[in-house]
Amino acid sequence: MTPLKSRNRPESIAERYRLDNIDQLLIRQLAEYPESTIQDLAALISYSRTGTRKRLDKPAIKKALSEIQQTTDEKLKKVSHTAIKRLTELIVSGDERIALDACKTVLALNSTRSAVSEGSTTARVIYEVQFGRDGRLFSQMSLNDGPTIDNEG
């Protein structure tokens, strides 16, 4: 017997692809730390490297990872456009201190863009945009959950 789905709650990635907790753990680890090796992942789930590879080769995991990457890219594009617009507003603001800080931010981001795009800092940003700082498993989320925004630096 199939459990009834709530009409108010969108289907989660875990439900859509029928991911168990181990699959979710692997995906979460790869989202947060894309540089994770097979050995790292195997140790995390207490599987052999061969067993871990077999899990990662499952079509459901590949589809889920692809969907997560696409959703993350879309969210980052939307947030980037908003950030660029806001920085532009700050640059032309009447307050010289704020304008100078905004200029420094733009220059720093531009000069480090290619180096950061491949580093773990970006991976962490992508993880937090997709999953929030609390790191909930996919089964506890839907694709409509947005990024967490707080006042921390």
Q: pLDDT: is 6 or 146 the higher one?
A: 6
Q: How far apart are CA 25 and CA 126, in angstroms?
A: 16
Q: What is the CA radius of gyration of the chain?
A: 19
Residue 6, domain member (yes or no): no
Residue 34, domain member (yes or no): yes
The answer to whether 27 and 19 have CB atoms below 8 angstroms apart is yes
pLDDT-derived band at 111, boundaries 50, 70, 90: low
Closest CA to 56 of 140, 66, 105, 93: 66
Residue 70, domain member (yes or no): yes
**Average of pLDDT values for 97-106?**
87
pLDDT of 73? 85
Please count the structural domains in the chain. Answer: 1
**Coil, helix or strand at residue 135:** coil
pLDDT digits (tens, 9 = 90+) for 51-97: 999 999 999 999 999 888 888 888 888 888 888 889 889 988 889 99
Residue 5, domain member (yes or no): no
Residue 106, domain member (yes or no): yes
Q: How far apart are CA 104 and CA 97, in angstroms?
A: 11
pLDDT of 76? 86
Q: pLDDT: is 37 or 139 the higher one?
A: 37
The residue to which tokens 């992508």 are assigned: 126
Domain containing 122 equals: 13-140
pLDDT digits (tens, 9 = 90+) for 7-20: 677 888 889 999 99
Residue 151, domain member (yes or no): no
pLDDT-derived band at 114, boundaries 50, 70, 90: very low
Q: How far apart are CA 67 and CA 143, in angstroms?
A: 10
Name the token pair of 92. 């032309």
What mean pLDDT is reported for the chain? 75
**For the whole model, what pTM was predicted?**
0.55
Closest CA to 32 of 110, 138, 111, 108: 138
The residue to which tokens 């304008």 are assigned: 99
pLDDT-derived band at 29, boundaries 50, 70, 90: very high
Residue 60, domain member (yes or no): yes
pLDDT of 7? 62
Q: How far apart are CA 99 and CA 101, in angstroms?
A: 5
pLDDT-derived band at 6, boundaries 50, 70, 90: low
Name the token pair of 23. 């699959």
Residue 149, domain member (yes or no): no
Exposure of 66 by Cβ count < 10 A (0-12 exposed, 13-18 middle, 19+ buried)? exposed
